[in-house]
Amino acid sequence: MSELTGYLRTDGRKGIRNVVAVAYLVECAHHVAREIAWPHRDRAHVIGFPGCFPNAYAQQMMERLCTHPNVGAVLLVSLGCESFNRYALEKVIRDSGRPVKSLVIQRDGGTRATIRDGQAWIESTVAALAEAPRVPMDVSELVVGTVCGGSDGTSGLSGNPAAGRAFDRLVEAGAACIFEETGELIGCEEIMAARARTPELGDELRAAVAKAARYYATLGYGSFAAGNADGGLTTIEEKSLGAYAKSGASQIAGLIKPGDLPPRGGLYLMDVVPDGEVRFGFPNISDNAEIVEMMASGAHLSLFVTGRGSVVGSALAPVIKIAANPHMYERLAEDMDVNAGRIITGAASLDEVGEEIYRLVLDVAAGAETRSEALGHAEFILTYKSFEPIGPACLPA
């Protein structure tokens, strides 16, 4: 197990990576941002918001992501006529002490000229970031998220509970751990309420799941894909119990929404379902949207459990891929970090694989490369949403 170190930021948090975020502020600037980052794609990651119309959620998310502890500098790429408030975003980044530069395609000469200017800035900035020192970091300073995707009948028996065991170890060591998603926890609300730190928090957990159930009922769909059925799952309750297993057994310390930072160590449920009437479609159109929301809440890295074989990673923050199905692991071993399918075959216990995941979290936090990082995966997606602030009962003292 490697010694844990990080990059100290002015707000006191420490990052486990030191990347440049190349952030496009409308889809029209996406291509230019991608071309700017390409020569240094291992250290310059493309993120962005595609919409032309303003959205408070997207603005907050981009502010949180551009000041994420894993981000050392930011290049903003604007078309010039979108509604995104780039001035406010640039100020937040500059006030955080990070180098920031804004390019405006309509102002700066079009595609080729903007790419040329952006690549020159990235080259000098990456070189400067490479000289940044790492400082000692404690496990209690980590924020770790978990998501399951491409689930099958093995996910709830091996990968998810093994991730839950790792969460228990991390929470015991003082880290903040975030699990989601309320739309995949329908039927588990009473079990979670019983684990809540206070009765009032228990009520908030019940309400969040009830909101998710209403939201999906309005859409006419549950959080249940055809691939889940092909993999042996039969009901949303069955999928929910598997998804619930990745939360472990620790007391639930709070309920947060995307962009809310956990105030201290402990286990937190993230409510990803928008508030109010159904306005923007599916709460999350892919698993990567949930990874992005956990990053916006400070997650340094994420555990991704899959039974069917999702191969994605993420921009800005490493993703540890946990294979739940032993046969899938054999086919996709190059994409997977942990073979939790050994639990299914009897080659390892839940505790043994949970300990393996825990130790891998510390190694990755110390700089070890995940499989998705080695393969160049840097997926990112951000869409429209709307949230109300959480209430005091969501974060009991």
pLDDT in tens, the chain (397 residues): 568 999 999 999 999 999 999 999 999 999 999 999 999 999 999 999 999 999 999 999 999 999 999 999 999 999 999 999 999 999 999 999 999 999 999 999 999 999 999 999 999 999 999 999 999 999 999 999 999 887 787 888 899 999 999 999 999 999 999 999 888 888 889 999 999 999 999 999 999 999 999 998 898 876 555 555 554 555 555 556 677 899 999 999 999 999 999 999 999 999 999 999 999 888 888 899 999 999 999 999 999 999 989 999 999 999 999 999 999 999 999 999 999 999 999 999 999 999 999 999 999 999 999 999 999 999 999 999 999 999 999 999 8
DSSP letters for 107-163: TTTSHHHHHHHHHHHHHHHHHHHTTPPPEE--GGG-EEEEEE-S--TTTTTTHHHHH
Q: Which H, E and C letters describe 65-87, residue by residue? A: HHCCCCEEEEEEEECCCCCCCHH
Tokens describing residue 310: 């999702």
Domain positions in the chain are 19-131, 139-394
b/e burial code for range 87-113 (CB count within 10 A of at least 16 → b): eebbebbeebebbbbbbbbeebeeeee
Pick the CATH number of 19-131 from 3.40.50.1820, 3.40.50.2300, 3.40.50.300, 3.40.1190.20: 3.40.50.2300
- Report pTM: 0.94
Q: Do 267 and 166 form a contact (C-beta atoms < 8 A)?
A: no
Query: In this predicted structure, what is the pLDDT of residue 234?
Result: 54
Terminal CA-to-CA distance of the chain, rounded, Å?
Answer: 33
